[in-house]
Amino acid sequence: MIDTVFPATIEISKFLLFLSMILVCIRIVRGLHAGDRVVDLDMLCLLGVGVAALAAITSGSMAFIDVVLGIALIGFLATVAFAGFIARGTTQGGGD
């Protein structure tokens, strides 16, 4: 039974992650503030982590778990850098 359930589960998960990416991209287009877009970028990175985990299952090679570490690191650094950028930008705009 699991031989039929497992591929269907993988397909459903792929579809759900695809749909999540579409929703987050809609939010990026609609985002009101720069901070909103950075939050959505962070969410896209986390979705990339999920997709890499799914790719590790579908391709059968656990090397994709290393990809997860890379994506998580880049997402964290990008979010921190953008947060500092937003805060600094408001400082220099309001200070002068």
Partner 1 sequence: MGVTKMLMWLSAFFVLSGSLVTFIAALGVLRLPDFFMRMHAATKAGVVGPSLLLVGAGFYEPSWSTWIKIALAILFLFMTTPIASHLLGKAGFVGGVSVWEGTARNDLENVLPSDVFVETDAPISSEKPAGNMLTCAPTTLPRQ
Residue 84 contacts partner 1 per CB under 8 A: yes
**Binding string, 1-40, against partner 1, x = CB under 8 A?**
-x--xx--xx-xx--xx-xxx-xx-xx----xxxxx-xxx
Q: For 70-76, which contacts have Cβ atoms below 8 Å and span 24 or more sequence positions?
A: 71/45, 72/45, 74/45, 75/41, 75/42, 75/45, 75/46, 75/48, 75/49
Gyration radius from the chain CA atoms: 18
The residues of the shown chain that bind partner 1, judged by CB under 8 A, are 2, 5-6, 9-10, 12-13, 16-17, 19-21, 23-24, 26-27, 32-36, 38-40, 42-43, 46-47, 49-50, 53-54, 56-57, 60, 62, 64-66, 68-69, 72-73, 75-76, 79-80, 82-84, 86-91, 94-95
